[in-house]
């Protein structure tokens, strides 16, 4: 019996006898995803979509921690994602819960993790969970609202772009790499690794530990679609993996502008696939965000302690005032190398 494979965005389901029935899930052969069914992505004519997300939300109190966990669970419930009964592995975190779909066939959807001090929450959403989010009416906006309330770090986000024309296949990528399409304007060419297996060919461009990595693979073969299906040969997935670290802060609007960040990663290669899209640079967005945090902080400082600083200036040097008042942030605050902050 052919395994049930989701190769097209799921549509809204209805409850019947306490069981979710989804025509896409019940079909034995499914047409692949050529355009998303998400109202938000469709209205904005997006060609890419979020395919994986790891998000770190910071909390400043037990009450905020409990409230954030509750709101995340509530949102996921509307997406037909529930807490799994499987035991959470506490190897790296003190506690957490696993997530799974409530559809006919159970799928692993990620996890919510935290440590005993409850100072942050890690939200991991798999490709299946992101697909449910992509086709939902509310998209990622409930999560974005939480990101506005809490300081956050996007630890990893994958953005997928699918091609069904066979034009932008593995051979296309090999030619672009050889001609310097993936090379930066300065610095060394990223590494390339080619892997072939029974589930198709895969190309990795860049290190898996780097801030960005492109993975291109034969999606139709990876899903083991019937060999006589057109998509078995024609479906190529281009997957950009962005990783945040202390020097790279991924902005939250990567969730609402995936095309722009995808294009910016390798514009010489993907301009032909993302025509009319304006590239958006992470470095530029980080600078804007840091400037906003700085200006807001200075404004609060002026309102609350302006007279005190003016008085201190009469008896101390500016350097002494800075040394006496400056301290590291207790929670996450965006930071940049000085060279990036200078206009």
- Domain ranges (residues) in the chain: 1-150, 288-338
> What is d(CA 286, CA 304) in angstroms, rounded to the nearest whole number?
27
> What dihedral angle (degrees, nearest 10) is formed by the CA atoms of 148, 109, 44, 268?
100
Contact at 8 Å (CB) between 242 and 261? yes
Can you tell me the mean pLDDT for 168-176?
96
Q: Say if residue 333's pLDDT is above 70.
A: no
Q: What is the CA radius of gyration of the chain?
A: 23
Q: Say if residue 19's pLDDT is above 60.
A: no
Q: Which residue has the tokens 């034969």?
A: 218
- For 309, the token pair is 């600083």
> What is d(CA 320, CA 71) in angstroms, rounded to the nearest whole number?
45
pLDDT bin (cut points 50, 70, 90) of residue 27 is: very low
pLDDT bin (cut points 50, 70, 90) of residue 318 is: confident
Model pLDDT for residues 75-103, shown as the tens digit of each residue: 999 999 999 988 888 888 999 999 999 87
Long-range pairs for 173-176: beta carbons < 8 A, 24 or more residues apart: 173/203, 173/205, 173/216, 173/238, 173/269, 174/203, 176/268, 176/269
> What is d(CA 23, CA 27) in angstroms, rounded to the nearest whole number?
6
- Find how far residue 273's CA is from the centre of its chain: 20
3-state secondary structure of 202: strand
Model pLDDT for residues 261-289, shown as the tens digit of each residue: 999 999 999 999 999 999 988 866 666 76
Contact at 8 Å (CB) between 99 and 79? no
Q: Say if residue 161's pLDDT is above 90.
A: yes
**Sign, CA torsion 319/321/322/328:** positive
> What is d(CA 199, CA 238) in angstroms, rounded to the nearest whole number?
16
Contact at 8 Å (CB) between 34 and 164? yes
Q: Say if residue 13's pLDDT is above 70.
A: no
- The candidate with the shortest Cα–Cα distance to 242, out of 26, 50, 64, is 50
Q: Say if residue 20's pLDDT is above 80.
A: no
């Amino acid at each position: 019996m052919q395994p049930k494979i989701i190769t097209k965005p799921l549509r809204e389901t209805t409850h019947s006898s306490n069981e979710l029935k989804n025509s896409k899930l019940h079909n034995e052969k499914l047409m692949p995803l050529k355009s998303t069914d998400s109202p938000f992505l469709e209205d904005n004519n997006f060609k890419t979509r979020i395919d994986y997300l790891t998000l770190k939300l910071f909390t400043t109190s037990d009450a905020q921690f409990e409230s954030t966990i509750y709101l995340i669970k509530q949102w996921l419930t509307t997406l037909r994602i529930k807490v799994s009964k499987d035991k959470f592995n506490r190897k790296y975190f003190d506690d957490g819960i696993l997530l799974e779909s409530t559809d006919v066939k159970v799928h692993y959807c990620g996890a919510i993790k935290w440590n005993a001090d409850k100072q942050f929450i890690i939200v991991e959403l798999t490709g299946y969970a992101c697909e449910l989010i992509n086709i939902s009416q509310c998209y990622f906006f409930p999560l974005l609202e939480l990101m506005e309330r809490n300081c956050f770090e996007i630890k990893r986000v994958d953005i997928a772009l699918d091609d069904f024309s066979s034009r932008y296949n593995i051979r296309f990528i090999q030619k672009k790499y050889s001609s310097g399409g993936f090379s930066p304007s300065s610095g060394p060419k990223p590494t390339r690794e080619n892997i072939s297996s029974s589930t198709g060919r895969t190309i990795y461009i860049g290190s898996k530990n780097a801030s960005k990595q492109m993975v291109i693979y034969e999606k139709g073969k990876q899903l083991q679609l019937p060999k006589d299906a057109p998509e078995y040969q024609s479906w190529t997935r281009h997957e950009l993996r962005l990783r945040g670290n202390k020097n790279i802060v991924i902005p939250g609007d990567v969730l609402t502008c995936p095309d722009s960040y995808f294009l910016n990663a390798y514009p010489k290669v993907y301009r032909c696939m993302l025509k009319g899209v304006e590239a958006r640079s992470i470095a530029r967005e980080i600078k804007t965000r840091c400037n906003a945090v700085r200006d807001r902080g200075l404004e609060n400082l002026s309102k609350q302690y302006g007279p005190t600083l003016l008085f201190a200036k009469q008896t101390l040097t500016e350097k002494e005032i800075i040394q006496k008042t400056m301290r590291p942030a207790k929670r996450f605050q965006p930071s940049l190398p000085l060279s990036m902050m200078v206009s």
